[in-house]
């Protein structure tokens, strides 16, 4: 079975016959499971036996805790959904991209509500510029054509996950992709006109079968996304800075004021956007401060948090 829902004291599996409440062994910690996990269970008693090895896992940091929150497992493609209105935020999209890169999933940005603006090409160009080789798709979640547009990532055996703020159309997309295969359609909420903010209709992560043989994971809307343990994801996201860094005079260059800084040189000659460097610096610093470090003798290490640097 695959884990379809994770609650504080129970797990729901999705089998070939539908949703199944799993019987948990004593001392089972449901926090160790993610929506999308493959598990083995007894076919007669539905007793959970064990979780199978994950191929990929999406994790995000939570404020005030060193334990990451599991957002989804065995995800092939992460659909980062945003709309062509006040919700569009390049800094937030970069956080999602870093998360996807670190997890080993393929990120795809979905632009919704293109019909509400005179020209959506500006949003498209800004999104494409966020990462090399990034795919950006514009669509209307309510139209059946949306399923056709996303078909390359939703084939048999493929798992996609949807992330983004409330009100951008994630639940609508789930309903469109799942079609008649979905037992209970996702609830859809309204969006406030003055600030484009939606109401949280999705309150927990859930797995749904797609008519074409794939799977889709819906997630609650997130406006705050803390980064931690995503150093590789940031390096991929800001590849132009990652490639310039070895050319700096100093090995530990901060790209702020050091002489012979190749990154600052690129800003000076106009080949690197200073706003892009500023966002890299903020994301890099946040990840460094939030990522626990190991201290103590080898074999007896203790994980501790970093103190903030001023």
Percent of the chain past pLDDT 70, that is, above it, reads 84
Predicted TM-score (pTM) of the model is 0.85
Which residues neighbour 75 within 8 Å (Cβ) at sequence distance 6 or greater? 36, 56, 58, 103, 105, 159, 160, 161, 217
* Mean of all residue pLDDT scores within the chain: 86
pLDDT at res. 87: 87
Question: Which tokens sit at 289?
Answer: 């401060």
> 227 near 121, Cβ under 8 Å?
no
Lowest mean pLDDT of 156-160, 219-223, 298-302, name the range.
Answer: 298-302
Alpha carbons 35 and 141: distance in angstroms, whole number: 23
In the three-class reduction of DSSP (H, G, I as helix; E, B as strand; rest coil), residue 214 is classed as coil
Interval 195-203 mean pLDDT: 45
CB atoms within 10 A of CB 143: 12
pLDDT at res. 247: 96
Alpha carbons 144 and 81: distance in angstroms, whole number: 17
- Comparing CA positions, the residue from 222, 231, 225, 224 lying closest to residue 287 is 231
* pLDDT surpassing 70 at residue 151: yes
Alpha carbons 66 and 77: distance in angstroms, whole number: 26
End-to-end CA distance of the chain: 48
Which residues neighbour 310 within 8 Å (Cβ) at sequence distance 6 or greater? none
* pLDDT surpassing 60 at residue 223: no
* pLDDT surpassing 80 at residue 109: yes
pLDDT at res. 16: 86
Highest mean pLDDT among 7-16, 38-47, 289-298: 38-47
pLDDT band per the 50, 70, 90 thresholds, residue 307: very low
Compute φ and ψ for 209, nearest 5 degrees: -80, 140
């Amino acid at each position: 079975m695959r884990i379809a829902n994770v609650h504080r004291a129970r797990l729901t599996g999705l089998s070939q016959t539908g949703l199944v409440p799993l019987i948990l062994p004593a001392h089972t910690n449901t926090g160790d499971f993610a929506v999308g996990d493959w598990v083995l269970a007894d076919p007669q008693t539905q007793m959970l036996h064990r979780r199978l090895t994950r191929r990929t896992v999406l994790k995000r940091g939570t404020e005030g805790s060193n334990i990451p929150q599991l957002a989804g497992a065995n995800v092939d493609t992460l659909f980062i959904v945003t709309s062509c209105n006040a919700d569009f935020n390049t800094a937030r999209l970069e956080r999602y991209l870093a998360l996807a890169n670190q997890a080993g999933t393929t990120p795809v940005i979905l632009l919704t509500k293109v019909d509400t603006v005179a020209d959506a090409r500006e949003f498209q160009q800004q999104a494409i510029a966020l990462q090399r080789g990034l795919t950006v798709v514009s669509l209307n979640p309510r139209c059946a054509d949306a399923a056709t547009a996303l078909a390359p990532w939703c084939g048999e055996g493929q798992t996609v996950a949807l992330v983004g703020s409330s009100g951008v159309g994630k639940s609508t997309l789930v309903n469109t992709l799942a079609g008649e295969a979905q037992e209970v359609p996702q609830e859809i909420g309204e969006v406030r006109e003055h600030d484009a903010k939606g109401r949280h209709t999705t309150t927990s992560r859930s797995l749904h079968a797609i008519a074409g043989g794939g799977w889709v994971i819906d997630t609650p809307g997130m406006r705050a996304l803390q980064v931690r343990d995503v150093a590789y994801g940031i390096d991929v996201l800001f590849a132009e800075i990652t490639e310039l860094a070895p050319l700096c005079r100093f090995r530990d260059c901060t790209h702020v004021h050091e002489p012979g800084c190749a990154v600052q040189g690129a800003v000076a000659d106009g080949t690197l956007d200073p706003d892009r460097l500023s966002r890299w610096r903020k994301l890099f610093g946040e990840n460094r401060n939030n990522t626990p470090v190991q201290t103590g003798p080898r074999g007896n290490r203790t994980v501790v948090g970093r103190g903030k640097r001023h």
